[in-house]
Amino acid sequence: MNQASQTRRDIGAGNQLDADAVRRAYRRWAGVYDLVFGGISALGRQRAVAEVNRLPGARVLEVGVGTGLALPHYGAEKRITGIDLSAEMLARATARVAAERLDNVEALLVLDAEDTGFAAGQFDIAVAMFVASVVPNPILLLAEMRRVVRPGGHILLVNHFAAENGPRWWVERALAPASRALGWHPDFAVEALFPGNERAAVTFVPIPPLGLFTLARLQN
Ligand SMILES: C[S@@+](CC[C@H](N)C(=O)[O-])C[C@H]1O[C@@H](n2cnc3c(N)ncnc32)[C@H](O)[C@@H]1O
């Protein structure tokens, strides 16, 4: 199997990945990630960071920071800690911080978002962009984000969520093979992150174009 099809297999199975599969997949993605995924996801990233910049509190945790595409967009007053499972993705983020002299990025650490080891309430805001459908266990991801954010702080996630009905349901099914190859997981359901009535406490904002990605925001 060649590298591209192995990557598609790792990322696009539609099932959650275990941590080793995530590391393997993003070891391969790291060199081309910005080119392949940077453009299509840019609006979602900008929208989420603009929201972070408007929120009170300086201590920001970016979960699954990847190659650091969002890092240049944070306000200078925000103090950013970025974490990621993939050392190769993080190496790109580290290079970006140095090249762009992003002094407000305090740390970039190889850590598992589901079990970070940070102190409870250590951050004012936690944000995860295009990560929830990639982590091995989205429920653990959200629980850990809640734990490390102070009471009253904010949690933001940008992701693709499967449409539940209407025209997008049909479009997504038609696009499924291509989207799976990019790791969008068109079948990633809102319930996988917010089961039962948990979604009642979440504000969902569709991001143009097409509302393919959604910003989900909740207060701790
Ligand atoms: C689709 S990329 C998104 C990267 C970045 N947030 C962006 O907007 O471009 C998903 C990232 O999540 C990371 N990731 C997946 N599971 C993780 C976990 N359990 N802990 C930390 N990072 C994880 C991957 O290594 C990858 O860098």
CB 54 within 8 A of CB 68: no
- Which atom of ligand 1 is least distant from the CA of 19? 19
What is the distance in A from the centroid of ligand 1 to the CA of 83?
8
- State which of 8, 22, 127 you would mutate to test the pocket of ligand 1, scoring each by most atoms of that ligand within 8 A of its C-beta: 22
Indicate the DSSP class of residue 197: G
Report the separation in Å between the CA atom of 43 and the middle of ligand 1, taken as the mean of its atom positions. 17
Helix (H, G, I), strand (E, B) or coil at 188: coil
pTM of the model: 0.88
pLDDT along the chain (220 residues), means of 10: 40 57 88 89 94 98 98 98 97 98 98 97 97 90 98 96 76 64 67 92 88 92
Helix (H, G, I), strand (E, B) or coil at 4: helix
* pLDDT tens digits, one per residue of 9-60: 443 334 456 888 888 889 989 999 999 888 888 999 999 999 999 999 999 9
**How many structural domains is the chain composed of?**
1
Q: Residue 143 has what pLDDT? A: 97
Measured in Å, residue 96 CA sits from the centre of ligand 1 at: 16
- Residue-averaged pLDDT of the chain: 87
Going by their DSSP bridges, the two strands 213-219 and 203-207 should be labelled as antiparallel
Task: Please state the separation of Cα 192 from the chain's center in Å.
Answer: 15
CATH number at residue 84: 3.40.50.150
What is the model's pLDDT at position 64? 97
pLDDT score recorded for residue 14: 42
- Angle between helical axes of 19-29 and 87-99 (0-180°, round to 10): 50
* Residue among 134, 140, 212 to mutate when testing ligand 1 (max atoms within 8 A of CB): 134
Distance 2 CA to ligand 1 centre (A): 23
Residue 119 has what pLDDT?
98
Supply φ then ψ for residue 112, to 5 degrees: -90, 120
Expressed as residue numbers, the domain containing 9 is 3-219
Q: Are 182 and 37 in contact (CB under 8 A)?
A: yes
How many helices, marked H, and strands, marked E, lie in the chain? 7, 7
CA separation, residue 158 to residues 4, 31, 106, 214 (Å): 26, 23, 23, 6
pLDDT number for residue 10? 41
The atom number, within ligand 1, closest to the CA of 183 reads: 1
Cα(41) to ligand 1 centroid in Å equals: 13
CA distances, 174 to each of 60, 77, 186 (Å): 37, 44, 10
| Ligand 1: residue whose CA is nearest its atom 14 | 64
DSSP state letters, 101-141:
T-TTEEEEEE--TTS--PPTT-EEEEEEES-TTTSS-HHHH
